[in-house]
Amino acid sequence: MKKLLILIITIAHGFILQAQDMQIYYALIEKARQSHTEEMYAQAVKEYEAAFASLGNKGIPADRFDAAIVMAKAKEKKKAFDQLFRLAEHELTKYRDLEALENVNDFEILRSDRRWDKLIEIVSSNKEFYEKDFDEALATELENMYKLDQKYRLQVPEVEKEHGFESPEMKELVSAMKTTDTDNLARVIQILEEHGWLGPQIVGKAGNNALFHIIQHAELTIQLKYLPMMRDAVAKDNAYPHQLALLEDRINVRQGKKQTFGSQIGRNPHTGEYYVEPIRDPERVNEFRKSVGLPSLETYLSQWNILWDVQKHKQRISETKATN
């Protein structure tokens, strides 16, 4: 039973936090959309900005595009351009829907600005870039694999709440999750061995994201095998630095080492209390997190109802060493 508990935590804890983060994000996005509908543009701008801030200044591309429309309506030209250039210039977004950009009437206020021509130039280049290398079939396959990867993980919080962490229902869910993970991993290994770590220009952002998640949910031996490939992908802008950070943290914790970015959370099987797995340099953890685009540890841990205290963290590590 203890092994099952550890397995469930390993598989589910990353998603639970992600789900909680996204719940806050989507709530703010919904408020922004409502304010937009009610023509409260200034308020909508604040709510979109709060939504992106809740994810460490990240956001879903479609939401950034909508935010740019609202900012244009609010006559916040600089903010609108900031959103659009972020979409266009980011290596993992490379916004390329030139037709949509040119057909938005609300962007009329931007078109007389000299920045508009530069934006169109970048988006046009992105469009040519994607059309040259994009593999639609493989992108669709990977996107569907990602949906399967998340299918059972999405059910974890509800099943735990309704039936308990060690219930037969949770065992059944984990069994289905493991079967899907095995099938997904076999195919991803084929793709990686044949093509290497594919960037969004070839398989789209969703497909690129699928590669990370499926490896992140794999066994340690697989993670170690493909870690150098992912490091190379990050260096070439074919993967996110923060994803590499999460993979490195997970590998280190699994090997009994200290993590760097504080992303891995443990759970006391007796009390149900969540805690941060040992960090190698807790005083500088936020510095390391910021360097890869992750939010502060305080923000991250708030979703777990954990208050970050460096001294208590060090004390916990010392007490664990003494017990062992």
CA distance 124 to 144: 28
What would the pLDDT profile of 76-132 be if each residue is shown by its tens digit? 999 999 999 999 998 777 888 888 899 999 999 999 999 999 999 999 998 887 777
pTM score over 0.85: no
Residue position matching structure tokens 């540890």: 297
Q: What is the pLDDT of residue 265?
A: 93
Please state, for a pLDDT cut of 70, what percent of the chain lies above it: 92
All structural domains of the chain = 2-132 (1.25.40), 134-239 (no CATH), 257-324 (no CATH)
Nearest alpha carbon to residue 175 among 287, 315, 7, 2: 7
> Is the model's pLDDT at 55 over the cut of 90?
no
What would the pLDDT profile of 18-40 be if each residue is shown by its tens digit? 545 567 888 899 999 999 999 99
What would the pLDDT profile of 166-206 be if each residue is shown by its tens digit? 899 999 999 999 999 999 999 999 999 999 999 988 998 88
Please state, for a pLDDT cut of 90, what percent of the chain lies above it: 64
**Integer angstrom CA distances of residue 165 from 60, 89, 171:** 31, 43, 9
> Is the model's pLDDT at 8 over the cut of 60?
no
Sign, CA dihedral 165-168-173-174, equals positive
**Integer angstrom CA distances of residue 308 from 23, 109, 200, 272, 299:** 22, 45, 35, 18, 9
Nearest alpha carbon to residue 117 among 81, 73, 68: 81
